[in-house]
Structure 1
Amino acid sequence: MSAPIQIGADPSGGPIQIDIEELLATRLLVQGNSGSGKSHLLRRLLEESASIVQQIVIDPEGDFCSLSDVFGHIVIDGAAYSGAEIERLAARIRKHRASVVLSLEGLEIEGQMRCAAQFLSALFDAPRDQWFPALVVVDEAQMFAPAAGGDVSEETRRMSLAAMTNLMCRGRKRGLAGIVATQRLAKLAKNVAAEASNFLMGRTFLDIDMARAADLLGMERRQAEQIRDLSSGQFLGLGPAISRRPVAVRIGPVRTGPQRMVQALAPPPSASPDELHALLHSGLHLEDESPTPPPPAPSAPDAGALLEQIAAVPTEMEEEPVEQPALFAPDQREIDAAVDAILAEMAAEEDCTFQQPARLFQDFTVRCRMNRLTAGHVDMTLFRRRFAMAMAGVTDADKAPWKDILRVARVLSDDLLAPFLVIARAAHEGAACPDDEELARIYGTNSLGRIRRLLEHYERAGLIVVRTDFSGRRSVAIPELSLSTAPLEA
């Protein structure tokens, strides 16, 4: 059974077809310099076969996302997911036979390689009952299967190369038909290129690439010169799914296009050189001026100042009889509100968390006495817990959501409480996850490594789940409360 689609026409106007059924078994390699029409060719192939077979596109530049507008492809932004999520998505793609475009434009090259490798490996590892036929198109394949090491780590290069090799060498039995496109054959790993039995060769100028293209097409070396003369959108095709002899083909029109179009030529502005000079240099020095720094926050009083405050407090306050006016005998609710205000004032002071707990508690008792309050009902243990709550801005601890958050946090000791509450607050408000520097300030440490170990401790205790996507953005979920922070920009 055959399933031919027309991809273009030969020089005489006759149709040139590709048999998709045969292509699934024999794979395809496309080569052409930048501007030769590779993306146009792939788009034509995808559009014409969209109703015949499932399609999976690895798109490093986001060029094929427009397929979703006409053909219903699902666009997956690789930068927005973690490695585990990409693998689960790939498993569901195989199960439900969805046509998708994995867009990697938001990632650096190493992130693109790791994301594509995990995605392809998960497609490859699908259960046997899900080995449905699918075209797997990889644009700019030399990035994912480089012939030599580059600027990425050796681990990433091997991971990506192994995934691409599995796709081209062993994918056929699992229903995966690899279609790889590259600017230069010399940059593509040979064990990946060698597995393709169908070829579409576009314009190229380097002798080594022309020689390899001629070899793959079964042409003599002296005939390789015609590859240099091909125009944009014109290719030489060969293979069991195309033709048994090399054939020239001009790729037909497409219905979709890249999201970013190259701008047409435009003349420079007609302004005079003096006007342009003024536009470029006017007020240039103002951009170098740094904004006025905010006034420094008041520092916490030192021990000597605290002793002076203690000495200045009239002793009569402690001996006031119960019969004094209500101002000096507030009820418990008023006392709690006043204590909360004192703790909030202390928490707002710069570097307060870097002081010893005993010193903070001494400061707290002095402030209570200065406000004609007794700190007797708040001992050292309760103070540390309430100070941690104040650092996180906890209000109405007996009401939602803080009641539930504090219930979850009851397993933590008081010295570990404040960073968790800050994370929980961000999760409740849907704000970005606090960065390591902010958590270090809340915890009272200058060691970012200590904060990372603290997050690992929270995770081992089952309080949080830390998730990092391929863009390096961290978010933290609190499973028991079904809350999650927004991603923190890397």
Structure 2
Amino acid sequence: MRSTMTLKIDMGFDGAGSPASVDLEELLATRLLVQGNSGSGKSHLLRRMLEKSAGQVQQIIIDPEGDFVTLSGPYGHVAIEAVDYSAAEMAHFARRCREHRTSVVLSLEGLEMEGQMRCAAAFLSGLFGAPREHWFPALVVVDEAQIFAPSAGAEVSEEVRRASLGAMTNLMSRGRKRGLAGIIATQRLAKLSQNVAAEASNFLMGRTFLDIDMARAADLLGMERRQAESIRDLARGTFLGLGPAIARRPVVLRIGAVETSARSSSPVLMPLPEAPSLDMRQFLLAGMEELPTPLPAPLPRPQAAASVLEELARLPAKAAPEEQFDPIDADEIMTAALRAITEDDDAAGKTTAVLFQDFQVRCRMLGLRQAPLDLAAFTRRFAAARAGIFEGLEDEWAPALEAGRKVPDDMLGAFLLIARAASENRPCPSDQELAHVYGTSSLGRARRVLSYMEERDIIVARTDLSGRRSITIPALGWTTEPTAP
């Protein structure tokens, strides 16, 4: 039988110099919030906790700066650089982590903020959506949590912000039943979503200077406002702790030493090098004369507009040269670009405006200087592409597009998928197929799309006694074959 001591995380010493620890089993059930300004020792605290609990529980670290990848050496964590993978691959990787109970460090270094949020949302959703048989206990550490759960609108798209915030909320509010114990750390409590912070029952508050952050920290610790000033006076590496896994009353914790270090460290003053005996200006500019200096091309002397017109009039007319190159088929190029976007797994998480820019770039790369589509036309054509319709939009599929004018642009793809199945005498699309075309993984949203269209008499859905569904489009007189439930 394992001793009780193995369930304690040695954190250092308390204010009286006695050993201080955190109850690991209680921490798994009650979650932890760590707060401290830059330089307060917040990352040092997380590293101490991870080192001392390594081998006792699976550890999963979401690391925006790549500081914790050094745990991979002595402690066997698998370090993954997220910049090399897609969001879909991140979700798959998360599910495999849960299945094999492997401790990992997900480094988000090299990604912009929106990329970090998108990756973290996919990874956390993968952890959360693992099968029940893989719900093993794990510490999920999220450093700089205010990035992934902002209290206000961040400088990213609303879709990405909501996905990241929703994943963080799930981790802290519903993760316990799935064995996920959230440990979130932040520099600014005021910038962290209150819904996420409120789910933690344990708190470790380090040095902070802003009044709004001190006030929130004091509220979480149950201190009076006049006592909040003491948070400003905490030494580096010293924290006030409270919670069922730490203590029933606020206590002082002085975090002990760690065995590993971050790849980046705080700047340290060093003596300046001795100046060389030569003149410093000559020393710095040495070798510059060897670099080639390009001469600017002389600008032509401007001519008067009248003389230019007279000169053009005197030039003999030339016959049009014979075609040197094969003509560009704009429609063929646009179709190829649309096929490439629909086959891209990351396209489902992008806004229409971003996809339109991607479409224009792909067209230019294929030789079409400018795609003859505006944003509205692209939206409808891309909806058709998602339904597998790339050609015949002006003739064969014109009636379906006309009938689809009654549905919002984001639902047009689902409508055309139904129309295509009915036209080709194929079974009614499943909820999974409709969800994919709609750009979501939620089957509930796919069903709401059908309900929306049915309420407006755009479609008529029938389900027989055996549970097989077929859909009719009254405006076209088309009906799909029944499909299995």
| Equivalent residue in structure 1 for 2:226, among 222, 225, 229 | 222
For residues 205 and 290 of structure 1, the distance between their equivalents in structure 2, rounded to whole angstroms, comes to 55
Structure 2 residue aligned with 1:447, among 367, 370, 390? 370
Amino acid at match of 1:28: L
> Could you tell me which residue of structure 2 aligns to residue 186 of structure 1?
190
Which residue pairs with 2:166 in the alignment? Answer: 162
Is 2:334–2:363's contact at 8 Å kept on the other side of the alignment? no
The aligned amino acid for 1:20 is L
1:389-404 pair list within 5 angstroms = none
Query: Retained in 1: the 8 A contact 2:333–2:366?
Result: no
SS at match of 1:257: coil
Paired position in structure 2 for 1:389? none
2:256 partner amino acid = G
Equivalence for 1:26? 30
CA distance in structure 2 between the partners assigned to 1:73 and 1:291 by the alignment? 56
TM-score normalised to structure 2 length: 0.62
Matched with 1:245 is 249
Name the CA distance, whole Å, in 1 between partners of 2:334 and 2:159. Answer: 39
For residues 163 and 139 of structure 2, what CA distance do their matches in structure 1 show?
A: 21
Q: Shift in Å at residue 214 of structure 1?
A: 1.4
Secondary structure in 1 matching 2:68: coil
Spell out, residue by residue over 1:134-159, the C-alpha distance to the aligned partner (whole angstroms, 9 max, x if none): 00000000111011112111111111
Report the equivalent of 1:62. Answer: 66
Shift of 1:220: 1.9
- 1:211, 1:224 within 8 Å by CA — same for their partners in 2? yes
Is it true that 1:267 corresponds to 2:190 in the alignment? no
Aligned 8 A contact 1:416 1:443 in 2: no
Q: In the alignment, which of 91, 103, 109 is matched to residue 107 of structure 2?
A: 103
For 1:142, the equivalent position in structure 2 comes to 146
Please give the alpha-carbon distance, in whole angstroms, between the structure 2 residues aligned to 1:250 and 1:209. Answer: 21
State the partner residue of 1:88: 92
Give the secondary-structure state (helix, strand or coil) at the position aligned to 2:17.
coil
Could you tell me how far apart the structure 2 residues matched to 1:442 and 1:208 are? Answer: 51
1:182-331 aligned within 5 A: 182-271=186-275, 275-278=279-282, 283=288, 289=294
Alpha carbons of structure 1 residues 243 and 273: separation in structure 2 relative to 1, 3 Å: farther
Which aligned pairs between 1:348-367 and structure 2 lie closer than 5 A? 353=325, 355-356=326-327
Distance 1:66 1:57 in 2: 12
The answer as to whether partners of 2:364 and 2:370 remain within 8 angstroms in 1 is no
Cα deviation, residue 28, structure 1: 0.3
CA shift digits 1:180-219 (9 cap, x unpaired): 0001111110011111110101001111211211121122
Paired with 1:414 and 1:223, the residues of 2 have a C-alpha distance of 68
Corresponding residue of 1:340: none
Distance in 1 between residues matched to 2:8 and 2:58, nearest whole Å: 15
Aligned to 2:222, the other structure's residue is in SS state coil
Q: Which residue of 2 aligns with 1:10?
A: 14
In the TM superposition, residue 236 of structure 1 has moved relative to its aligned partner by 0.8
Taking a change above 3 Å as real, the CA distance of residues 209 and 356 of structure 1, as seen in their structure-2 partners, is closer
Shift of 1:438: 10
Other structure's SS at 1:18 match: strand
Q: Which residue identity lines up with residue 116 of structure 1 in the other structure?
A: A
Instruction: Identify if the C-alpha distance between structure 1 residues 441 and 223 changes in structure 2 by more than 3 Å, giving closer, same or farther.
Output: closer
Aligned twin of 2:180: 176
Report the equivalent of 1:365. Answer: none
- Report what 1:398 is aligned to: none
Which residue matches 1:127? 131
Partner SS for 2:73: helix
Task: Evaluate the alpha carbon distance shift between residue 137 and residue 284 of structure 1 in structure 2; reply closer, same or farther with a 3 A threshold.
Answer: farther
Letter of the structure 2 residue corresponding to residue 136 of structure 1: V
- The higher radius of gyration belongs to 1
Structure 1 residues 49 and 443, CA, compared in 2 at 3 Å: closer, same or farther? closer
CA distance in 2 between partners of 1:212 and 1:416 (Å) = 55
Shift of the 44–278 alpha-carbon distance from structure 1 to 2, 3 Å rule, reads: same
Q: Which runs of 5+ in 2 are unaligned?
A: 298-317, 340-357, 390-485
Work out the CA distance in 2 between the residues paired with 1:6 and 1:32.
Answer: 20
**RCO higher in structure (CA 8 A, sep ≥6):** 1
How far does the alpha carbon of each residue in 1:294-336 deviate from its partner, in whole angstroms, 9 at most, with x for none?
A: xxxxxxxx98777xxxxxxxxxxxxxxxxxxxxxxxxxxxxxx
| Aligned alpha-carbon RMSD (Å) | 3.9
Q: AA paired with 2:158?
A: E
Distance 2:280 2:34 in 1: 46
Q: CA deviation at 1:226?
A: 1.4
Change (3 A) 1:87 1:249: same
Identical counterparts, % of pairs: 61
User: Is residue 201–residue 236 contact of structure 1 (8 Å, CA) maintained in 2?
Assistant: yes
SS of residue paired to 2:184: strand
Distance across 2 between alignment mates of 1:54 and 1:201: 25
8 Å contact from structure 1 (residues 46, 55) kept in 2: yes
Q: Which residue number corresponds to residue 360 of structure 1?
A: none
CA distance in 1, matches of 2:178, 2:362: 47
**Aligned counterparts of 2:295 and 2:69: Cα–Cα separation in 1:** 41
**Count of equivalent residues:** 339
Shift of 1:277: 4.3
TM-score, normalised by the number of residues in structure 1: 0.61
Tell me which residue corresponds to 2:121: 117
SS at match of 1:212: helix
Q: How many Å separate the matches in 2 of 1:152 and 1:27?
A: 28
